[in-house]
Chains A and B, each alone.
Chain A
Amino acid sequence: MADLRSSFAGITSPNPFWLASAPPTDKAYNVIRAFKAGWGGVVWKTLGEDPPIVNVSGPRYGAIHGSDRRVIGFNNIELITDRPLEVNLQEITQVKRDWPDRAVVVSLMVPCEEPNWTAIIKRVEETGADGIELNFGCPHGMSERGMGAAVGQVPEYIEMVTRWCKAATRMPVIVKLTPNVASILPPAEAAKRGGADAVSLINTVNALMGVDIDQMAPWPHIDGYGTHGGMCGSVVKPIALNMVSAIARHPATQGLPISGIGGIEKWRDAAEFMALGAVNVQVCTAAMAYGFKIVEEMIADLSEWMDQKGYARTEDFVGLAAPRKTEWQHLNLDYVVKAHIDEDLCIKCGRCHIGCEDTSHQAITSLKDGQRHFEVIEEECVGCNLCAVVCPIENCITMVPLREGDVDRRTGLKVGGHRTWLEHPNNPMATSPRPAKYAAE
């Protein structure tokens, strides 16, 4: 049985599954339910200064639905906690006392002045919480007041506030990053320079979820008007994975502990984030869609997968995929794959054919001897993966690499060698261009 215990920036928890700072962690009632369900830790919903902010009483959430109305994208315009600071602090104190083995981290957001940060941190320290997370991420509402993403989009501010916080507390300081930037690296570097013990990412993505074309207003709308919010859920996972991997392998930030956030719904999502370098993960949308019980699947199935793979502890696989993330220019241009359709699995829907025929390389048949038949035409196939992606049957279409010395029937050339763009003769900037390993015959 795999050991799921996790230690993130010195904060221990019985498993790597935390609830992110969000509505599910706004008060003791919810957090206790989460701990009973098995969550390893929580980041308490962001605290601010009194008087508390005021939320809209209209719709706070919107969504993108997938098949069968599954929530695949989720959006919110809720602000930080709207409860008095003292109430939250008392509840945090009690919860941490009652659940000493679980991680309780407190998210914070106050105006960008050192005394404000110092003051609230002192209050949080008294609760016995395990750490603080600086909310430099929320892209809506608070950012209009110079907080949240308004800080996270300016590396100098990140560094400055992080430094204040580190100076003010013994607690580990986690900096939560916004994805609403051109590159995630300058903010991550700034956090590290400021002394952050860890970063967590991503916060939500600026988004307008839809338009009510009857009312002619953004959807959802409040008394006729809508505003952009922060989007999360499955649809943002690829954005988060890219940013996590960028920080994990960037020389200036390598080794900085990462808490992965963004569209994690199941064990496999967690395993992917961790393989790219996240030490633990934080979840919100999936819990809001299905309740806290989902953590049971995450715990049981991550453990099962680790047993199958022989990973005794999460550290054994964290970051293993990160070195394989690289830039396009380092990809092997001499590597050739061809699509292959498993005729036994094929249900003959023809989607591979029409996608390829209409939009790509005309490399899949639709008829053979007058019969409906879908087969790859290797002379045309560039190995783009479109057919495999659109095929409704998993593993029906696979991309099969040609072996060294095989002839690529599209180019008529033998396959082999390893040239990237940096060595390719077509690259005018190539410093050491090399011909193909096998010359044309």
Chain B
Amino acid sequence: MSNEPAAGLAGRRISAELCRENFKDLVAPLHPNEARVAAERCLFCYDPPCVAACPTEIDIPLFIRQIANGLPVAAAKTILDANIMGAMCARVCPTENLCEGACVRESSEARAVEIGRLQRHATDALLASGRQLYRAGPPTGQRVAVVGAGPAGLSCAHALARAGHQVTIYEARPKGGGLNEYGIAAYKVTGDIAQAELAYVLAVGGITIEYGKAIGRDITLANLRVEHDAVFLGLGLGGTNGLGFGEVPAGVSDAVAFIAALRQAPDKTVLPIGRNVIVIGGGMTAIDAATQVKLLGAECVTIAYRRSKAEMPASRYEQDVAQVRGVLIRENLVPVAFESADGAVSGVTFERTRSEGDRLVPTGERVTLAADQVLTAIGQTLLASDLADSGVSFENGRIAVDSARRTSLPGVWAGGDCVAGGSDLTVAAVADGKAAAASILAALQSAAVPEHAGA
């Protein structure tokens, strides 16, 4: 094993100037002239495949036509009518797998209309205009609790507030936005866009956020049900999977926490970074962690994934984002042990695997890669303790819901990453919140609701 001594983690591997350069917008905003040219490429398809591919069903050809015709703020209204988190989704949606992947120009010319960038163009114009398009409806006197101020909760809360319901959001963290604020690579969300969008959503009125209130710790679902006419659970995934190798040496940490710390750091360069970093995992978290650690000055960053590259949950585009910044992606490596020296990690031993259909077959061949820092990104979990004894039913470790996002408990809905069967995307969480809100609105209007709520 070519094990160099761990040089130790250190901050300030790059200058403040280089940091600014490295963490500027991953995708630059469209210049107005570019936007017009990009918009004119849209064919205004009948029964548009891009809309069918959008979980929130934004009327994409319509908003693009509005941009082409010179009214980006009107375009933004079309977007937000369907997806109140349109500004963030424009930046973080894997559009290559959604709208842009379905664009007829993608199949015919291998170059889709730039829907994501156009959506950002429109929503940026709206935010810059300072105009508020929505306001809370006349008060109904009914109260709804929303757990979690992430995309699902905010989307649900916004729709309920517009209908006149009094919404209280209980948020465990000190800031709202959920993963938009804590879980996305910094270069995708420049300009504090997550907070700007949160402020826009809350400005509708009728929504209160109580920060530092975690379900299972500060509040209970039972109490929420008593005190509200309906409850929406959008608490996300509070836990992360570990590798289960026993004692974890220094220098090994959780990629989700790393990404969150980086986002919240006033000065990113002070975060301790290794020279030789291994990121274990194959999803967006692995990509975001590996790319950012490289941009912070790590010399050698390797993503190790147990399956093949083609099977990575991170899209091809995301893989490229990491690779062009110098991240090496190694496939078919499943970790089996941490190596350490003097209590600090010095490497990771992997076993090579082979994919046989859906099955992953270990080959018995081992390889040890040197590392002075290891970030694990092997999945997030719903913390069971959050909803202990609440009576809500689970499915594959997440909350079970029906198509209207109703849980097994009357008067309780759920959506976003915490529910079973989702795709762990911001846009899917927004769609969940929207669907749940529609169901809650219908329920609150009908006479059946009071006996459910507070049961």
A contact residues vs B (CB 8 Å cutoff): 67-69, 347-351, 353-354, 366, 372, 392-393
Shortest 7 CB-CB contacts between residues of A and residues of B: A350-B46, A354-B46, A347-B108, A349-B45, A347-B104, A349-B43, A67-B40
Can you name the residue of chain A whose Cβ is closest to the Cβ of B109? A347
Chain A residues, Cβ within 8 Å of B36? 69
CB of B46 within 8 A of CB of A366, answer yes
Can you name the residue of chain B whose Cβ is closest to the Cβ of A347? B108
Q: Determine whether B249 belongs to the interface, using a CB cutoff of 8 Å to chain A.
A: no
Q: How far is the CA of A23 from the CA of B366 in the complex (A)?
A: 78
Q: Determine whether B317 belongs to the interface, using a CB cutoff of 8 Å to chain A.
A: no
Chain A residues, Cβ within 8 Å of B43? 349, 351, 392
CB of A351 within 8 A of CB of B47, answer no
Chain A residues, Cβ within 8 Å of B104? 347-349
Q: How far is the CA of A313 from the CA of B327 in the complex (A)?
A: 63
Can you name the residue of chain B whose Cβ is closest to the Cβ of A352? B46
Chain A residues, Cβ within 8 Å of B46? 349-351, 353-354, 366
Q: How far is the CA of A68 from the CA of B37 in the complex (A)?
A: 5
What are 12 of the A-B contact pairs (CB < 8 Å)? Answer: A67-B40, A68-B40, A69-B33, A348-B104, A349-B43, A350-B46, A351-B43, A351-B44, A353-B46, A366-B46, A372-B47, A393-B108
A362 CB, min distance to chain B CBs, angstroms? 13
Can you name the residue of chain B whose Cβ is closest to the Cβ of A350? B46
Known: A68-B37, A347-B104, A366-B47. 11 other contacts (CB 8 A): A67-B37, A347-B105, A348-B104, A348-B107, A349-B43, A349-B46, A351-B46, A354-B46, A372-B47, A392-B43, A393-B108
Can you name the residue of chain B whose Cβ is closest to the Cβ of A392? B43
Can you name the residue of chain A whose Cβ is closest to the Cβ of B41? A67
B453 CB, min distance to chain A CBs, angstroms? 41
Q: Is the interface of B mostly helix, strand, loop or mixed?
A: helix
Chain B residues, Cβ within 8 Å of A366? 46-47
Chain B residues, Cβ within 8 Å of A392? 43
B contact residues vs A (CB 8 Å cutoff): 33, 36-37, 40, 43-47, 49, 104-105, 107-108
Chain B residues, Cβ within 8 Å of A354? 46
Chain B residues, Cβ within 8 Å of A349? 43, 45-46, 104
Q: How far is the CA of A372 from the CA of B53 in the complex (A)?
A: 14
Given A67-B40, A68-B37, A68-B40, check contact A350 B108 (CB 8 Å). Answer: no
Can you name the residue of chain B whose Cβ is closest to the Cβ of A357? B46
Can you name the residue of chain B whose Cβ is closest to the Cβ of A364? B46
From B33, B47, B107, A350 is in contact (CB under 8 Å) with B47
Chain A residues, Cβ within 8 Å of B33? 69
Chain B residues, Cβ within 8 Å of A372? 47, 49
Chain B residues, Cβ within 8 Å of A393? 108
Q: How far is the CA of A375 from the CA of B275 in the complex (A)?
A: 60
Can you name the residue of chain B whose Cβ is closest to the Cβ of A68? B37
Q: How far is the CA of A348 from the CA of B104 in the complex (A)?
A: 7
A426 CB, min distance to chain B CBs, angstroms? 35
B45 CB, min distance to chain A CBs, angstroms? 4
Q: How far is the CA of A305 from the CA of B391 in the complex (A)?
A: 80
Chain A residues, Cβ within 8 Å of B47? 350, 366, 372
Q: How far is the CA of A392 from the CA of B103 in the complex (A)?
A: 14
Can you name the residue of chain B whose Cβ is closest to the Cβ of A353? B46
Q: How far is the CA of A347 from the CA of B43 in the complex (A)?
A: 11
Q: How far is the CA of A34 from the CA of B37 in the complex (A)?
A: 31
Q: How far is the CA of A354 from the CA of B46 in the complex (A)?
A: 6
A396 CB, min distance to chain B CBs, angstroms? 10
Can you name the residue of chain B whose Cβ is closest to the Cβ of A348? B104
Can you name the residue of chain B whose Cβ is closest to the Cβ of A67? B40
CB of B40 within 8 A of CB of A348, answer no
CB of A350 within 8 A of CB of B37, answer no
CB of B45 within 8 A of CB of A351, answer yes
Can you name the residue of chain A whose Cβ is closest to the Cβ of B52? A372
Chain B residues, Cβ within 8 Å of A69? 33, 36
Q: How far is the CA of A154 from the CA of B45 in the complex (A)?
A: 49
Can you name the residue of chain A whose Cβ is closest to the Cβ of B37? A68
Q: How far is the CA of A36 from the CA of B49 in the complex (A)?
A: 52
CB of B49 within 8 A of CB of A348, answer yes
Given A68-B37, A372-B49, check contact A347 B107 (CB 8 Å). Answer: yes
Can you name the residue of chain A whose Cβ is closest to the Cβ of B105? A347
Chain B residues, Cβ within 8 Å of A351? 43-46
A219 CB, min distance to chain B CBs, angstroms? 14
Can you name the residue of chain B whose Cβ is closest to the Cβ of A354? B46
B115 CB, min distance to chain A CBs, angstroms? 15
Chain A residues, Cβ within 8 Å of B107? 347-348
Chain A residues, Cβ within 8 Å of B37? 67-68
Can you name the residue of chain B whose Cβ is closest to the Cβ of A393? B108
CB of A350 within 8 A of CB of B40, answer no
A54 CB, min distance to chain B CBs, angstroms? 35
Q: How far is the CA of A351 from the CA of B43 in the complex (A)?
A: 8
Chain B residues, Cβ within 8 Å of A353? 46
Q: How far is the CA of A354 from the CA of B49 in the complex (A)?
A: 14
Q: How far is the CA of A372 from the CA of B104 in the complex (A)?
A: 12
A438 CB, min distance to chain B CBs, angstroms? 37
Name, among B37, B40, B43, B44, the residue most crowded by chain A CB atoms within 10 Å (CB to CB): B43
Q: How far is the CA of A366 from the CA of B49 in the complex (A)?
A: 12
Q: How far is the CA of A354 from the CA of B108 in the complex (A)?
A: 20
A397 CB, min distance to chain B CBs, angstroms? 14
Chain A residues, Cβ within 8 Å of B105? 347
Q: How far is the CA of A349 from the CA of B43 in the complex (A)?
A: 7
Can you name the residue of chain B whose Cβ is closest to the Cβ of A374? B46
Q: How far is the CA of A354 from the CA of B44 in the complex (A)?
A: 10
Q: How far is the CA of A349 from the CA of B37 in the complex (A)?
A: 19
A333 CB, min distance to chain B CBs, angstroms? 32
Q: How far is the CA of A349 from the CA of B107 in the complex (A)?
A: 11
Chain B residues, Cβ within 8 Å of A68? 37, 40
Q: How far is the CA of A349 from the CA of B51 in the complex (A)?
A: 13
Name, among A67, A347, A349, A353, the residue most crowded by chain B CB atoms within 10 Å (CB to CB): A349
Q: How far is the CA of A69 from the CA of B44 in the complex (A)?
A: 19
B19 CB, min distance to chain A CBs, angstroms? 37
